[in-house]
Amino acid sequence: MIHAFGDSFVVGDQDDFLHETEEAGHDMQFNERLHYLMYNVSFAALIAKELNEEFTNHAIRGSGNYPQIDILMQKILDGTITKKDTVLFGITTLVRDRQQLLAFENVTSYGKGPCMIDRELIPNKIEDIALLDHFYILSILENISAIYDVKIIKFYLFDNARISKNTVDFIPSNFVGFSESGTTLIDILNDTWDSGDKVGYHDCIDIPPGYEDMYTKYKHPSIKGHKKIANWFLANRIL
């Protein structure tokens, strides 16, 4: 069985929910559309169908990396994911990780004990937070894989602008294109794999001429784009 983790890129988001409220999440039509995207449009779902594998999509729109690791670990502990399964783990922008804590009083106020982050990293070493998170996230996934004997295939989704391979003193196993640049899903869409280019937040990228049909209006992979990503993974025998 294949289990997929990540954000909107793994969900298969086609810009359907950009203006929805939280209440919409309880609406039957909303949930049906979300389920359809996750299990029929997402490149991960297409890969599973081509390989005739059962599939579960755990991705959440806008998710950071740590919440997805939480879900992964819970699913391993409750037996939902076993050593017979394969995990596809898309690593999203590091901006969504501990940098998000900076708005919390226990982090920013010297009147309280710090939580989750060394206060001395704020405000002059914000970029260092991302570099540290990069190391921690890869280390956690590496150890989960080793301890529980679960194959975890890792890859960058869209933002590698804040990543430095030099902060990681090991080569992660089963990492697709472990490099500082040119190895995101955006590079698959743009035929720039291993180009050495840095990619930032997906809604700020410049789409090369001729590749517009690979993207939605707000620069998620389009239906055609998801098919291209799936075909690339299959052609390169990633699984």
**DSSP characters over 184-237:** BHHHHHHT-TTS------GGGPPPPTT-GGGB-TTSSB-HHHHHHHHHHHHHTT
Provide the percentage of residues in the chain whose pLDDT is more than 70.
94
Compute the distance between CA of residue 191 and CA of residue 185 in angstroms, rounded to an integer.
Answer: 10
pLDDT digits (tens, 9 = 90+) for 131-162: 899 999 999 999 999 999 999 999 999 988 77
pLDDT of residue 17: 76
Half-sphere exposure of 217 (CA within 13 A, CB side): 5
pLDDT tens sequence across 155-190: 999 988 777 767 788 889 999 988 767 899 999 999
Domain assignments of the chain as residue spans, ordered by start: 2-92+124-235
With 0.75 as the threshold, say if the pTM is over it: yes
User: What is the structure's pLDDT at 20?
Assistant: 56
Spacing of C-alpha 98 from chain mean position: 15
Secondary structure (DSSP) of 45-99: HHHHHHTT--EEE---TT--HHHHHHHHHHHHHTTSS-TT-EEEEEE--GGGTGG
- The predicted pLDDT at position 18 comes to 66
Place of tokens 């979300």: 34
232: pLDDT confidence band, cut at 50, 70 and 90? very high
Q: Quick one: how far is CA 140 from the chain centroid? A: 15
What does the pLDDT look like over 184-207, one tens digit per residue? 999 999 999 988 777 888 888 899
- The tokens describing 66, both together, are 């740590």
pLDDT of residue 180: 67
For residue 79, what pLDDT band results from cuts at 50, 70 and 90?
very high
Q: What is the mean pLDDT of residues 88-108?
A: 86
Distance separating alpha carbons of residues 30 and 23, to the nearest angstrom: 10
The CATH class of the 2-92+124-235 domain is alpha beta
Top-confidence residue, 239 or 112: 239
With a CB cutoff of 8 Å and minimum separation 6, the contacts of 170 are 142
CA end-to-end span of the chain, whole Å? 11
